[in-house]
Amino acid sequence: MEASKVLMDSDVDTAGALTKAQLADLLFDQLGVSKREAKDMVDAYFDLIAQSLVQGEEVKLSGFGNFQIRTKAPRPGRNPRTGELIPIEARRVVTFHASTKLKEQIQG
């Protein structure tokens, strides 16, 4: 069953955020795996994504989007309360770019 169909048919609270626990519950309800297996599957999935990003690899999820690591250069910053100049160090950040298919679904 398509993930979007599973989410649409479920009792996910649309006002809040979709949590890992809710994803595990969906796997339990839709696929019939045990709750423990469902939780382990969700945790393993996100661990694999995180490990790939830490190693500097791009993560591409077809029909959903791409996660990438971007290195931001150091730059001067300012404390908004005092106006004091504070250097912001170089750092790595995760960026997400939604696929065209996902963007169309959101607009649709």
**For 30-85, how does the pLDDT look when each residue is reduced to its tens digit (9 = 90+)?**
998 999 999 999 999 999 999 999 999 999 999 999 999 999 999 999 999 999 99
Q: Does one domain contain both 6 and 42?
A: yes
Strand order in the sheet with 59-61: 59-61, 65-72, 91-98
In contact, 85 and 78? CB cutoff 8 Å: yes
HSE-CB for 7 with a 13 A CA cutoff = 10
Q: Does one domain contain both 44 and 18?
A: yes
Structural domain tally of the chain? 2
Stated pTM of the model: 0.73
Q: Does one domain contain both 52 and 74?
A: no
In contact, 39 and 48? CB cutoff 8 Å: no
Q: What is the pLDDT of residue 13?
A: 54
Domain that holds residue 64: 58-108
